[in-house]
Structure 1
Amino acid sequence: MLRMACEGEHEEAPYWLAEALRRLGRTEEADRWLRVAAEAYPDVLAQYGEMARLAIRDPG
């Protein structure tokens, strides 16, 4: 489901997919998705108010 969310351009999904892959020991694939998450990070932050931004994890 996370992979489908990433492909559907849900901007927060790449971070969570990378976290799941890392926990499964698939670090090479996780690194690729973390790069995607890092690119989307400014856009993700722009969607939230000042207080909510504090809860958004920085993939970098």
Structure 2
Amino acid sequence: MHPSNFPVGEAVNMMFAKSSAIPCRPSKDHYKLILRRSFANYCDRRLLGAGEEHGVGVKR
């Protein structure tokens, strides 16, 4: 999903953590990940766990 290969307005369908997911890029500085509601908590935990070692977290 590098910006040079994923232009603004782009969206794709993919599998993520046993669930269907749609990453999209609505603007230059923002990405969205659309998930089925029943898998949202599971995918959230997977993303946060994978990003932990790289300092990725949730800003509240």
Question: TM-score when scaled to structure 1?
Answer: 0.36
- Higher strand fraction (1 or 2): 2
Higher-helix-fraction structure = 1
Higher RCO (CA 8 Å, separation ≥ 6 residues): 1
- The structure with the larger Rg is 2
Give the TM-score normalised by structure 2. 0.36
